[in-house]
Amino acid sequence: MKRKRAKKLDIYEQQKQAYWRAYDRAALIRERFPSLASLSIHMDFENPDWGGNPNPSEQHFGPEDKAFFEVQCPHWECIRGGFNLRDAVLRLVNGRLEETTGAITCQGWQDRERIGQHRCLLKMNYKITAVYAEDL
């Protein structure tokens, strides 16, 4: 009897599965940040040298949401890119700040054909706003 070989996953499928595995492992906000009532992240994007800018977006988190602050690059062809806002959220909550802003640049590759040759370099400007349970 001939064994079927498992189909090799394409690089985009591997990337998607890794993202969701990390999401599944994340704790809930109420477990990770008990004092946090809600968190909002506003993002807008600037393309450095190609195409138009992706649309701004927002994410809202409550106590029952996952404490997962990795944002996928809006350029669907980007490989190994995205934005990790974990450290910005940690600084905000640990400092009991109400708001923080900053910028981060995607270090992924523009597409599978340009791996090792051309970085994505999409810039995300973010504003993170927190509301603490004691403030309600």
- Give residue 127's Cα distance to chain centre: 13
- C-alpha span between 120 and 114 (Å, rounded): 10
Work out the end-to-end distance of the chain between its first and last CA atoms, rounded to an integer number of angstroms: 66
What band does 15 get if pLDDT is binned at 50, 70 and 90? confident
pLDDT at 7: 57
HEC profile of the chain: CCCCCCCCCCHHHHHHHHHHHHHHHCCEHHHHCCCEEEEEEEEEEECCCCCCCCCCEEEEECCCCECCCEECCCCCCCECCCEECHHHHHHHHHCCCCEEEEEEECCCECCHHHCCCCECCCEEEEEEEEEEHHHC
Is residue 42 situated within a structural domain? yes
Report how many domains make up the chain: 1
Is residue 26 situated within a structural domain? yes
Is residue 6 situated within a structural domain? no
pLDDT at 76: 87
Is residue 4 situated within a structural domain? no
pLDDT at 48: 83
Is residue 28 situated within a structural domain? yes
Residue 83 belongs to domain spanning:
11-135
**Mean pLDDT of the chain, nearest integer:** 91
Per residue in 36-89, pLDDT (tens digit) is 999 999 999 999 876 789 999 999 999 999 999 999 999 889 999 999 999 999
